[in-house]
Structure 1
Amino acid sequence: MLKGLAGLKAAAAKPNSFARHGVATVLVTAATMALGLLTGILVARSIGPEGRGALTSVLTTVQMLGWLFAMGCGKAVTYTLSRDHSAGGRLLSTWTLILLPLAGLAIGTGYLLLPLLLAAQPPETLELARLYLPMIAMALLSELMLGLILGDQDFRSFNALNFLQPAGVAVVYVALWAAGRFTVEAAVIVQAAMSTLVLAAATALLIRRHGLARPDPALGRKSLWYALRTHGDVVGGVITQRLDLLIIPAVLSAKQVGLYALATSLSWLIVSLSSALATVVMPAATRRGRSGRELVLNSLQATFAIGGLLGGGLFVFADIAISLVYGPSFADSALPLRLLLPGAVLYAAAAILLNGLYAENRPFTATLANLLGMAVTLGGLILFLNSGGILAAAIVSTVAYTLVFAAAATLYRHATGLPWRVFLPDPALLAALPRRLLTKPSPVAAAPANPAGK
């Protein structure tokens, strides 16, 4: 009992710290989104829908393979290091050894799958994607390094590194555009260079902080078990989020890919900004124990407020904004964007609850929600993509996002034993956000003990 009270006091002593880091994360995400809009405009104006479609095809394929073969290492090392800060050096060396053979397997798999995944694209896009495949190794190692930085509760460095890549890309894109040398090939090279730079900076930071310890097989097995239980959620999430962009290049023309890529990137701004708190919720809630549940629920309510505001604005002004910013050739992206927006807001909220389940040591439970979304996405695209094109893809995606949220809310309530009323928005909290994050008692503090993690 005394230990539990001490934990609650420690959590209550740092509300302003989490609020500060949460606000900083949202602001950095907003700045990153602004840079993404800038680079998106440059891409649209320089190489048109066809060029944007080719660039999306190359980058998305490698990104998805990186997520699929990362084996949930990011969440696993974040959770483990949040519970035991002395494990940093051992996690770094152990997981590097685990990921290197996985990177080789991912690259080989990608080489075999690319002709199928890019079947509707020109040969030069396929060749460029093959040249970009080794970046999968960088993606896997970056997942590890950023997960460790989150486990250190070093949200400042995490935000700085996440801002560094899009900032560097934007600067070089502008320089290429000004020089009249912006091409798909140049854009891919810039992406690869900035990814490598971020990985090098994160690795140097972690080695300086934790050193290089001997690999620890016991720690590796323990964290790998957590990782494997999260991997279904990662796979399900990746398929739910990105399967449309992975399948469309094999079925539709580059122009259609480019139009849909713009709609998804704009809708994903809602997810990126309104779910920015999810990034810091998991390690912060893990360290706080049971009192972290209030943090999760307050973050959920803030996410709904941010997402609803942004989504509503984009829904109303989609046609005008796309035509003015990206040009008339992208006007057909407006309707898919409107179809995607409701699901995007709900998916952002789901991200908060899924990270709450991770903090409860229930990674396999979190997996169930995204597996439902994966099944709907896969089945819907198989049935309707050929006949319905990008509009069908948008409808399928937003339905899948909605079901993921409904499942995540139900599973989080079941895991914590909380009443449904604590999920409802608190108007006073939202009006004073972020000052009042974690500053008042709620039914969460009186929740029953969590059962053993699954």
Structure 2
Amino acid sequence: MVKNYSLAKDGISVFGTQMLTLIIGFVSGVLLARWLGPAGRGAFTALLVYPTILISLLSMGMRQATVYYLGRKKYSESDIVGVTLLLLISSSIIGVLTSVAIIAYTKNPDYNLMLILLASLTVPADLTINYFTGILIGKQKINKFNKITYLVPIINFVLIIFFVFVIKLYILGAVLATLIAKMGLAIYAVLSIKSQYSLKICCKSEIIKKMVSIGSVYALSLFILNLNYRVDIIILEHLSNVAEIGQYTIGVGFAELLWQLPAAFGLVIFAYSANAKDSNKFSQDIAKMVRIIFPVVLFGSVFLYFASGYIIPFLYGEEYIPSIKMLKILLPGIVMMSFFKIINMDLAGRGKPDITIKLFLPAVLINIVLNIILIPDFGGCGAAFASTVSYTLASISILYYYLRITQLSLRELFICNKNDFDFLLNVILKIIKGKNVSSKSN
């Protein structure tokens, strides 16, 4: 019960932080959409999509590998941190050079050398955040992780107003705001780790080999996931136009709001799963989380389906009305992926990231083929349909596998009972009580 409570408490804590960052990021997105217009918003999104995909590959799964090995306690923590630093420096250099080459190769007339360099520099910043926050998650320092997480959107929001609206740098300003915010968080993450460990490069070949070995599988898994999330934008850039990319991005952004809750719990579940002594018992805890979270996501999708027609034009303007239909087409796939994000993290915590590769790779290929077929005639709506099909097939595949290895039933995973609501209420009350006690002591 204690671990059950801690899992739920940390999950709610991360979700609360994500909601704060989401609100700030949401407002920033609305301002960018209005100030840049569909074409400018699309060009900005397309520019950063390449560094984003590169980060998922060059991270080499170090966040997950760090969490895994810190949980297993096989090597000393200082050696793990030292290896992490070595790999961070190496991957950052490769990332910047590769990003510059790829973006320059697209020969997009909207990108000049300054934009390409600034966008590429987000790679080492993001990698630093990724690598070092893995240490915090591995040590289950969720509160410190939360404090680091909400700095980016706050800094980004202020800088967007300054660079885009005040001095009117537009796309350049948006990229500058993104880079400076990420750099700020990267420095904060380094200082947080430096306060606990001596940041010295470690070259122990055994640890490097082990971390790279399991990390590369995590990285490939994450790369395939991110490719499936973003391949539609890449294909839209070549088969459509930047204005449609801007409209599609708004639809995707709204739909992915539903992922915040499962993503928050997925992050915590990964840390707890890596430290779990009894995997089968822990799966019962995961089932409880799915039973609580999935109905919330389902209800949210129904709300978005009917409310988006009013919300999107009000927030973004009439130019983004096409985003409404794209959002509605995406929603079924987004709902299916919500439980995937939870059970996939349990599998990753068990040291089975390769399952995602085996089950998701066919879905990526289907997504690519459908995008190529549908985008020329249906644009963003075709991309949305391709994503929904891909997400649904992948989620069903991993659900079947998860039920088989955990011996859980569909009923145990999806049908709520009275105890679930009592448990959730009890967790919320304990969190509120804990905060009250903390505030009084201060």
Of 403, 407, 422, 1:432 maps to: 422
- State the partner residue of 2:221: 233
Of 255, 264, 268, 1:267 maps to: 255
Specify every segment of 5 or more residues in structure 2 that has no aligned partner in the other structure, as ranges: 428-442
How many residues are treated as equivalent by the alignment?
Answer: 424
Of 386, 389, 395, 2:385 maps to: 395
How has the CA–CA distance of structure 1 residues 125 and 312 changed in structure 2, closer, same or farther, with 3 Å as cutoff?
farther
- State the partner residue of 2:237: 249
- The answer to whether the 8 Å contact 2:47/2:103 transfers is no
Question: In 1, distance between residues paired with 2:93 and 2:388?
Answer: 34
Question: In 2, distance between residues paired with 1:115 and 1:177?
Answer: 24
- CA shift, 1:196, in A, is 0.8
**Match runs of 1:212-231 below 5 Å:** 212=199, 214-231=202-219
Question: In 1, distance between residues paired with 2:207 and 2:426?
Answer: 38
How has the CA–CA distance of structure 1 residues 306 and 424 changed in structure 2, closer, same or farther, with 3 Å as cutoff?
closer
- CA shift, 1:182, in A, is 5.6
- CA shift, 1:87, in A, is 3.3
Residue 422 (str. 1) matches residue 412 (str. 2): yes
Of 141, 154, 158, 1:167 maps to: 154
- State the partner residue of 1:48: 37
- State the partner residue of 1:7: none
- CA shift, 1:167, in A, is 1.5
How has the CA–CA distance of structure 1 residues 419 and 308 changed in structure 2, closer, same or farther, with 3 Å as cutoff?
closer
Question: In 2, distance between residues paired with 1:345 and 1:380?
Answer: 20
- The answer to whether the 8 Å contact 1:344/1:401 transfers is yes
Residue 201 (str. 1) matches residue 188 (str. 2): yes
| Residues 211-232 of structure 1: CA deviation (Å, up to 9, x unaligned) | 2354432122222221122233
- CA shift, 1:436, in A, is 5.9
- State the partner residue of 1:311: 301
- The answer to whether the 8 Å contact 1:68/1:238 transfers is no
Specify every segment of 5 or more residues in structure 1 that has no aligned partner in the other structure, as ranges: 1-11, 438-454
**Match runs of 1:10-89 below 5 Å:** 12-84=1-73, 87-89=76-78
> What is the TM-score normalised by the length of structure 1?
0.87
How has the CA–CA distance of structure 1 residues 284 and 397 changed in structure 2, closer, same or farther, with 3 Å as cutoff?
same
- The answer to whether the 8 Å contact 2:247/2:322 transfers is yes
- CA shift, 1:204, in A, is 1.2
How has the CA–CA distance of structure 1 residues 176 and 105 changed in structure 2, closer, same or farther, with 3 Å as cutoff?
closer
Query: What is the letter of the counterpart of residue 329 of structure 1?
Result: E
Question: In 2, distance between residues paired with 1:330 and 1:115?
Answer: 29
- State the partner residue of 1:344: 334
- The answer to whether the 8 Å contact 1:165/1:198 transfers is yes
- The answer to whether the 8 Å contact 1:336/1:390 transfers is yes
- State the partner residue of 1:3: none
- State the partner residue of 2:87: 98
- CA shift, 1:246, in A, is 2.5
- CA shift, 1:295, in A, is 2.3
Question: In 1, distance between residues paired with 2:165 and 2:99?
Answer: 34
- CA shift, 1:367, in A, is 2.3
How has the CA–CA distance of structure 1 residues 394 and 125 changed in structure 2, closer, same or farther, with 3 Å as cutoff?
farther
Question: In 1, distance between residues paired with 2:362 and 2:58?
Answer: 20
Question: In 2, distance between residues paired with 1:415 and 1:366?
Answer: 14
- State the partner residue of 1:148: 135
- State the partner residue of 2:275: 287
- The answer to whether the 8 Å contact 2:294/2:339 transfers is yes
What's the secondary structure of 1:210's corresponding residue?
Answer: coil
What's the secondary structure of 2:76's corresponding residue?
Answer: helix
* Deviation larger for 184-193 or 361-370: 361-370
Question: In 1, distance between residues paired with 2:166 and 2:374?
Answer: 43
- The answer to whether the 8 Å contact 1:32/1:163 transfers is yes
- The answer to whether the 8 Å contact 1:285/1:295 transfers is no
What's the secondary structure of 1:124's corresponding residue?
Answer: coil
| Residues 87-134 of structure 1: CA deviation (Å, up to 9, x unaligned) | 3322222122223333333333323322454x5x43436751344213
- State the partner residue of 2:311: 321
- The answer to whether the 8 Å contact 2:292/2:416 transfers is no
Identity %: 20
Question: In 1, distance between residues paired with 2:15 and 2:160?
Answer: 24
What's the secondary structure of 2:196's corresponding residue?
Answer: helix
Query: What is the letter of the counterpart of residue 274 of structure 2?
Result: T
- The answer to whether the 8 Å contact 1:82/1:287 transfers is yes
Query: What is the letter of the counterpart of residue 28 of structure 2?
Result: T
> What is the TM-score normalised by the length of structure 2?
0.90
- State the partner residue of 1:5: none
Query: What is the letter of the counterpart of residue 241 of structure 1?
Result: Y
- State the partner residue of 2:345: 355
- CA shift, 1:179, in A, is 2.9
- CA shift, 1:52, in A, is 0.8
- The answer to whether the 8 Å contact 1:74/1:146 transfers is yes
